[in-house]
Amino acid sequence: MELLTFLGCLIILKIKGIKMKKMILFTLMLSTVVFIEAKAIYYRFIKMNMYREFVGVEQVVEREAKKIECFQLKYDNEKRPVEIKHLTKMNECEGYFSGLGEGISLLKIEYIDSIFTVYDSLSEYTRNYKKRETIYTTFNKAKEQVPFRGNVYRMVHSSTRCIEKDNLLQTKGYYLKWSNYDKNGLLCEDLYGVKIYSIYFADESGTNLIESTRTDENGYPVTDNTGIVTIKFQYNDFGKLTFQTNKDIYGKRINSTKGYCEIRIARRDSNDIFTEEYIYYDKDGKLTINQQGVYRVKYFYDSNKYLTSVLFLDTLENVMAGKNDISYSRYIRDKCFYMIKVEYFTSKRDTVKKSPPQLKIAETPMYFLKGYEYQYDKNGFVIEKNEIGEKKENKESGRN
């Protein structure tokens, strides 16, 4: 266990004006992360939440974690994650980390906190603030540092937030600076061509609005490689994204290079099925196609939140074929939730082969296009990926 490093200092500044005098008192404390050898907690998935923090989703007990692909989280004494491992049947694997990319086995998180007090002697106003830097680095199974989000080796989130009642941090009306660094510790562009994101958590009653603006090292707004300067997000009371809108440097709605300006998300939940529908609009508020060539995408999940199928829809919510003629995708898993088969179907009938439909979705006949079958070793690693019908062998290491 690492020991807490603590530094305290007291700085008193007197600021004199012509007509008034103020005294501002700063009490500063710096601390590094405290790692506790606590029992690990396991989750089926991880995600980056609305506050741009990594959190676990769908907790499982250790007995089940030994049978499935999952994520192991370890926390410090403030219950903040300091280490996230990607596991398959308790073996480290290099897979997909939400928001970061592929080929990552381990995410390490370090926190550097500064706490200070501001006191105004004229108004007798006192307020405590916490400045936090959160540093993210990623590694492969060999414990070698690897890049993510393009050529980023270190991601730093920094913010200054008021400490409110019950020692809770301010949740609205503050900025978070998201900076990307390369292997040499220099600011670098990520896969979107952005060095720094300035993220504002708006202080608006009854809403969870967040604005993410791309900037250069001097804080000036810049356009990313999709043509966007700012994305405005809105979340519901459960922290779920409900819409996002693209803006240009003047704050006007703009279509990205992906073809749309806004995404609206509708969700439905029942006892055994969960759906999300993404609907795409242009800058004029009209339905438009996304990068897959469709107007709506509907995702279906099982009760454990595993993706089971994806359906493409047109403006009237009828099934349509997107690019590559795909209309419907189906994902089949074994009893331990490992993907064993992926199948792709189209709503377009082959007028040459005139094959009969294999299934009906939303009253629409579906014709098989292609698919893949997966086989795993006893540790949960893919050893074969065969194309259905052709049986091509393709040995891989790691999970899909």
Residue 389 belongs to a domain: yes
Query: Taking the model in full, what pTM does it have?
Result: 0.84
CA dist., res. 124 & res. 155, Å (int)? 39
Helix, strand, or coil here: 166?
A: helix
What pLDDT does residue 1 have? 39
**Structural domain span for residue 325:** 319-400
The reported pLDDT for the residue numbered 90 is 96
Quick one: pLDDT at residue 14? 33
The answer to whether position 297 is within a domain reads no
pLDDT in tens, the chain (400 residues): 333 333 333 333 333 333 333 444 444 445 554 455 557 899 999 999 999 999 999 999 999 999 999 999 999 998 999 999 999 999 999 989 988 999 999 999 999 999 999 887 777 788 899 999 999 999 999 999 999 999 999 999 999 999 887 777 888 899 999 999 999 999 999 999 999 999 999 977 667 899 999 999 999 999 999 999 999 999 998 889 999 999 999 999 999 999 999 999 999 987 778 999 999 999 999 999 999 999 999 999 999 999 999 999 999 999 999 999 999 999 999 999 999 999 999 999 876 667 788 899 989 999 999 999 999 999 999 999 999 974 444 444 344 4
Token couple for 44: 């089926």
Provide the pLDDT for residue 27: 46
Q: How many residues can be counted in the chain?
A: 400
d(CA 90, CA 85): 10
- Distance (Å, whole) CA 88 – CA 97: 14
Q: Which residues contact 351 (CB under 8 A, 6 or more apart)?
A: none
Residue 3 forms part of a structural domain: no
Question: Is residue 342 in a domain?
Answer: yes
The whole-angstrom separation of Cα 136 and Cα 131 is 17
d(CA 380, CA 393): 18
Query: What backbone torsions phi and psi does residue 167 show, to the nearest 5 degrees?
Result: 65, 25
Residue 228 lies in a domain: no
- Decide if 107 is inside a domain: no
> From the CB of residue 159, how many other CB atoms can be counted at a distance below 10 Å?
20
pLDDT of residue 159: 95
Query: What token pair was written down for 177?
Result: 């600076």
Residue 332 counted as domain residue: yes
Say which residues have a Cβ less than 8 Å from residue 306's Cβ, sequence separation at least 6.
Answer: 44, 331, 333, 337
- 17 part of a folded domain: no
In this predicted structure, what is the pLDDT of residue 206? Answer: 65
d(CA 34, CA 4): 6
C-alpha 132/C-alpha 110 separation (Å) is 10
| Residues whose CB is less than 8 angstroms from the CB of residue 333 and which lie 6 or more positions away in sequence, other chains included | 306, 339, 340
Q: How many domains does the chain have?
A: 1
- Name the nearest CA neighbour of 362 among 323, 306, 309, 324: 309
Tokens of 130: 């916490």
